[in-house]
Amino acid sequence: MAAAGTLTAEAAQPAGPPARRRAGWVPALRAPKIAIGLGIVILFIAVAVFGPTIYRVNPSSTSTDLLQGPSAAHWLGTTQSGQDVLAQLIVGARISMFVGFVGGAIATVLSLFVGVLGGYLGGVADEILSVFTNIFLVIPALPLVIILAGYLPGKGALSVAIVISVTGWAWGARVQRAQTLSIRKRDYIEAARIAGEGTMRIIFSEILPNEIAIVASSFLFTVIFAILTEAGLAFLGLANLSSWSWGTMLYWAQSDSALQVGAWWWFVPPGMCIALVGAGLSMINFGIDEFVNPRLRSAGISTSRRPARPSRGQSGRRR
Amino acid sequence: MRYVTRRLGFYLLTAVVAITINFLVPHLMPGNPAQILIANFRGRVSPAAVKSISALFGISHAPLWSQYLTYWRQLLHGNLGISFSFYPATVASVIERSLPWTIWLVGTATVISFVVGTLMGIGVAWRRGSWLDATVPVTTFFSAVPYFWFGLVVVYVFGVVLHWFPLFGGYSSGTTIGWSWSFMASAFYYSILPATTIVVSSIAGWLLGMRNMMITTIGDDYIVLAEAEGLTERRIMLAYAARNAILPSIADFALSLGFVVSGAILTEIVFSYPGIGYVLYQAVDNEDYPLMQGVFLVITLAVLAANLVADLCYGALDPRTRQGG
């Protein structure tokens, strides 16, 4: 693969014993990017979990306040049929976040399975698995999700999450394969093998702990992908339109011509939420990247363009 | 040469897999909705058309394998079936009509976004630590924005509020499609907003990729040597660092293109732009399964072709790919 060679993963450098690495995670939490990103994401999770029990307005109940702008009674205004936009936003967070995190989790498990197994086993198994990965990598995701979802009978949140994960695992699998390939050659893996540890034990307790950063980063990336894809599917009308998510809100805003009547309070908030969650997740991601690959840090080296450390010809490259 | 055949073989294999998925999905998904539709359809269309749709959707009692062969035979003859919603038009003709619009819109937008994003990435990496770094979080935010939502906002601001641009469509209804000057001008005018949406939403990927790669490259010894030789900064930046750093960007074109195309589909829907994305929307809206699957196939094959071209460019640019392996 032409591109695979450029994708050698960054965590190749800090591969100390596990105990030292765990201690190494504490400063990561103090990095501003990770802290801000985590703050945003936790806030939205809290809204999804507790929001509807605190803000007790039925998002589907109609009222006579049609297309009202933001006011004291309706903080984010109302829709065409007098529904409260804030209530929809809060309840909608549930499905959007659920599909995002569940879809991301399933895809990450799939990608770990394919990537780590291929990278560790090598040979024909690896060839087959990586051709398989690359195929799913180049088939454009959204059209594939659309035809899968189009035939889906129920279109519940879980089935949408599963469909999304089917198309979202390949990116992570490629990164994890590259990382596993580089770890596999290390002495301590050889030692474990000679000591007679089984394949599963080597994979789970020797290789995976050293890939946590990469796994976390591809999980976060896939969550963003899943949230965006859910929104896109719902916007197309390919979700359960009787339940609320940020995507279905946008669907109704578009089909009830919120744009033409100038109801910006209707379609701006759901998109802002998606973008904020996405930005939060990416910030954590960049933070992790900079933590494992110090060259990407820009703070404190403004006087010199060049970090003091010499190159290892290794690229910490992401998409 | 070996590189070229390998890539060609890989994309052919991918195309076969995509076509097979397209064939299998209606078979494997529980409760085939196409079956109900065809039942409603019978009597309104010719028996030959029903037969061809049945073959495409596997409404047949023949064994799966022979259905698969029939499916391939139909595809190789360019027969994607009949569209339910545009009856009696064939799926192929509906797609053919919409394809030029998408190629123009997505093609221009992708090229602009690649060129501008890469140049910005070079700049941000070179002046690392300056105010330019502030653009990174901004572009992060934009990369997390759903394309279609950004499209909605753009339409609202520039169409509804400011009246600078039309709200939707691909060309003014006063002109007819053709190579006339007035039509081209109108088509260009109508494509500005959707193209801007795609460029702004996709630029961050190129920018960040190039920035990260540049930063890695700048640390290399040959850059130090170039500096020691007293070459101009501009020359080092463009002819030394950027030239090497850009390679992964081209290699990653494949992945990014999938994202851009997916985003562009939804953008077209927001703008009711008469491209293939909007056709897909109409297909979904009318439960027009033959059209839906035809669009999936055409988009996938187009993306594969574009990737092949990008890979060949990469092979031409990077001599390492030509040495075996």
pLDDT attached to residue A17:
45
Across A76-82, average pLDDT: 75
- Per the model's pLDDT, the better-predicted residue between B321 and B203 turns out to be B203
Contact B292 A147 (CB under 8 A): yes
- Per the model's pLDDT, the better-predicted residue between B258 and B246 turns out to be B246
Across A107-136, average pLDDT: 86
Across A181-185, B14-18, B46-50, B281-285, the highest mean pLDDT is recorded for B14-18
Give the tokens for residue B107. Answer: 């093609």
**pLDDT tens for each residue of A32-45:** 778 888 889 999 99
**pLDDT tens for each residue of B297-325:** 888 888 888 888 888 888 787 777 666 54
pLDDT attached to residue A103:
92
Give the tokens for residue A10. Answer: 């960054």
Which residue do the tokens 């279905």 mark?
A: A248
Contact A2 B212 (CB under 8 A): no
Contact B216 A317 (CB under 8 A): yes
Closest residue of chain B to A308, computed from CA coordinates: B219
Q: What is d(CA B170, CA B189) in angstroms, rounded to the nearest whole number?
A: 9
Tell me yes or no: is domain A2-299 CATH 3.40.190.10: no
pLDDT attached to residue A101:
92
- Across the interface, of A138, A150, A314, the residue whose CB is closest to B292 is A150
Across B25-29, average pLDDT: 73
- Across the interface, of B129, B145, B285, the residue whose CB is closest to A302 is B129
Contact A138 B258 (CB under 8 A): yes
- Across the interface, of A134, A224, A318, the residue whose CB is closest to B10 is A134
CB-based contacts of A273: which residues, under 8 Å, 6+ apart? Answer: A44, A89, A93, A96, A246
State yes or no: pLDDT of A174 exceeds 50: yes
Across A167-186, average pLDDT: 85
Q: What is d(CA A264, CA A251) in angstroms, rounded to the nearest whole number?
A: 14
Across B119-142, average pLDDT: 74
Give A286's contacts in chain B (Cβ within 8 Å).
140
Contact A3 B144 (CB under 8 A): no
Q: Helix, strand or coil for residue A78?
A: strand
State yes or no: pLDDT of A310 exceeds 60: no
Closest residue of chain B to A152, computed from CA coordinates: B29
**pLDDT tens for each residue of B212-230:** 788 878 878 888 888 888 8
Residue B121: name the closest of B11, B32, B248 by CA: B248
Give the tokens for residue A27. Answer: 């400063």
Q: What is d(CA B106, CA B260) in angstroms, rounded to the nearest whole number?
A: 8
State yes or no: pLDDT of A117 exceeds 90: no
pLDDT attached to residue A208:
82
Give the tokens for residue B211. Answer: 């920035």
Q: What is d(CA A199, CA A181) in angstroms, rounded to the nearest whole number?
A: 15
Across chain B, mean pLDDT equals: 79
Q: How far is A221 from chain B (nearest CA, A)?
A: 10
Across A111-119, average pLDDT: 87
* Eight-state DSSP code of residue A297: -
Q: How far is B188 from chain A (nearest CA, A)?
A: 23
State yes or no: pLDDT of A308 exceeds 50: no
Confidence grade of residue A314 (pLDDT, cut at 50, 70, 90): very low
Which of B140, B220, B227, B256 best probes binding to A when mutated, by most A CB atoms within 10 angstroms? B140
State yes or no: pLDDT of A107 exceeds 90: yes
Confidence grade of residue A98 (pLDDT, cut at 50, 70, 90): very high
- Across the interface, of A2, A135, A271, the residue whose CB is closest to B314 is A2
% of chain A at pLDDT higher than 70 = 82
Q: What is d(CA B116, CA B106) in angstroms, rounded to the nearest whole number?
A: 15
Percent helix, strand, coil in chain A (nearest 5)?
70, 0, 30
Across B266-283, average pLDDT: 86
Q: What is d(CA B17, CA B40) in angstroms, rounded to the nearest whole number?
A: 31
Provide Rg for chain A, Cα atoms: 23
Confidence grade of residue A301 (pLDDT, cut at 50, 70, 90): very low
> Residue A190 corresponds to which amino acid?
E
- Per the model's pLDDT, the better-predicted residue between B6 and B35 turns out to be B6
The span from the first CA to the last CA of chain B, in angstroms, equals: 11
Whether this model's pTM surpasses 0.90? no
Tell me how many residue pairs between chain A and chain B have CB atoms under 8 A apart.
223
> Residue A133 corresponds to which amino acid?
T
Closest residue of chain A to B288, computed from CA coordinates: A150
Closest residue of chain A to B148, computed from CA coordinates: A232
Give B31's contacts in chain A (Cβ within 8 Å).
153
Contact A254 B3 (CB under 8 A): no
Q: How far is B307 from chain A (nearest CA, A)?
A: 8
**pLDDT tens for each residue of B155-190:** 888 877 887 877 777 777 666 767 777 777 777 887
- Across the interface, of A140, A302, A319, the residue whose CB is closest to B300 is A140
Which residue do the tokens 């460019």 mark?
A: B313
Q: How far is B319 from chain A (nearest CA, A)?
A: 11
Confidence grade of residue A102 (pLDDT, cut at 50, 70, 90): very high
State yes or no: pLDDT of A105 exceeds 90: yes
State how far the alpha carbon of A283 is from the alpha carbons of A27, A39, A97, B122, B141, in Å: 16, 10, 17, 21, 9
Across A212-216, average pLDDT: 83
Contact B143 A306 (CB under 8 A): no
What's the CA angle centered on A119, arms A118 and A122, to 5 degrees?
A: 75
Query: What residue segments make up the domains of chain A, in order of their start?
Result: 2-299
Residue A78 backbone dihedrals phi, psi, to 5 degrees: -130, 165
Q: With the CA atoms of A96, A97, A103 and A105 taken in that order, what torsion angle do they form, in degrees rounded to the nearest 10?
A: 180
- Across the interface, of B133, B149, B258, the residue whose CB is closest to A298 is B133
Across A164-181, average pLDDT: 86
State yes or no: pLDDT of A50 exceeds 50: yes
Instruction: Specify the length of chain B in residues.
Output: 325
Which of B35, B142, B215, B270 best probes binding to A when mutated, by most A CB atoms within 10 angstroms? B215
> Residue A52 corresponds to which amino acid?
P
Q: Helix, strand or coil for residue A300?
A: coil
pLDDT attached to residue B55:
65
**pLDDT tens for each residue of A266-300:** 888 898 899 889 888 888 887 887 777 666 665 43
Residue B50: name the closest of B65, B63, B40 by CA: B40
